[in-house]
Amino acid sequence: MTGVRWTRWRRRVQALSALLWLALPVLADPRLAGTPAALRAGPVDLVEPSAALATALAARALPAALLVSALPLALLALALGPVACSWLCPYGLVSEGLDALRDRRARAPRIPDAGHRARAASLAALLALSLLAGAPIAALLLPPRALAALPLEAWSARVVPWVSAAILLALLALEALGPRRLVCRALCPAGALAALLRRPFTWGPRFSRAECRCPDRPPCVQACAWGLDPRADRPPDGCTSCMACVEECPSRALVALRRAP
């Protein structure tokens, strides 16, 4: 197995990210405020690309400031893949925790590799609703935004924000009752757009078939929360670069490197 304990480091980054979002309402600092859909960090405004696209469609305009605010996270997805999903997203941490609890009871079916069709259809539907409604529906229903907005709105208004609470409860119900990781795998617009931005040069697991000594059902496939096969010649559909497959590879046939163009 690889010497780098990717999951250990990923859990630390996830925990720090979750603590940041929980701390924002208490800090009440205008220099650092917002949700995963739109965050202000000092003089810098960061907007999640799918939220920016939904906002532009709702307004039927693309302001330069909105484009600039979405560019850093879009470039992150181009360079490193959907790492925000597996390393930074607070909802992803909750989703993984619920999935671990389900594993202890009974393994629910995973969404098949063709989940990219459901993901693309969901993204298209949310963006179309944003355009027709004149409101950024995709941004409002963004799972990490719903999770971070709940404590933020509750702390600010001193009442339970029922809209955000209802959205979050609906998402968690889908996690508990639907196929494994349904929301992250197929319904989250942020993950869908980040997956579409993946290019051949994007960082991710690289497989060397000549070095593989594993059986037909290797540890790398079992390690993937979505059941993807990282031994494919192209990056697996929906891979979030969590590197669990690299960590569990006994023959070092998988390495965490940028793929050749």
Q: Tell me the pLDDT tens digit for each residue of 227-243.
A: 788 887 565 667 888 88
Instruction: Give a yes or no: residue 50 inside a domain.
Output: yes
Q: Tell me, what's the pLDDT at 58?
A: 96
Residue 257, pLDDT above cutoff 80? no
Q: Tell me, what's the pLDDT at 261?
A: 41
CA distance 216 to 146: 40
Both structure tokens of 111: 């969404």
Residue 96, pLDDT above cutoff 80? yes
Residue 16, pLDDT above cutoff 90? yes
Instruction: Give a yes or no: residue 72 inside a domain.
Output: yes
CA distance 175 to 169: 10
Instruction: Give a yes or no: residue 254 inside a domain.
Output: no
Burial 207-219 (b: 16+ CB within 10 A, else e): beeeebeeeeebb
Instruction: Give a yes or no: residue 257 inside a domain.
Output: no
Instruction: Give a yes or no: residue 243 inside a domain.
Output: no
Instruction: Give a yes or no: residue 46 inside a domain.
Output: yes
Average pLDDT of the residues in 204-219 = 80
pLDDT band at residue 173 under the 50/70/90 scheme: very high
Instruction: Give a yes or no: residue 251 inside a domain.
Output: no
Instruction: Give a yes or no: residue 238 inside a domain.
Output: no
CA distance 194 to 235: 13
pTM for the model stands at 0.87
Tally of structural domains, the chain:
1
Q: Which domain holds residue 155?
A: 6-26+33-200
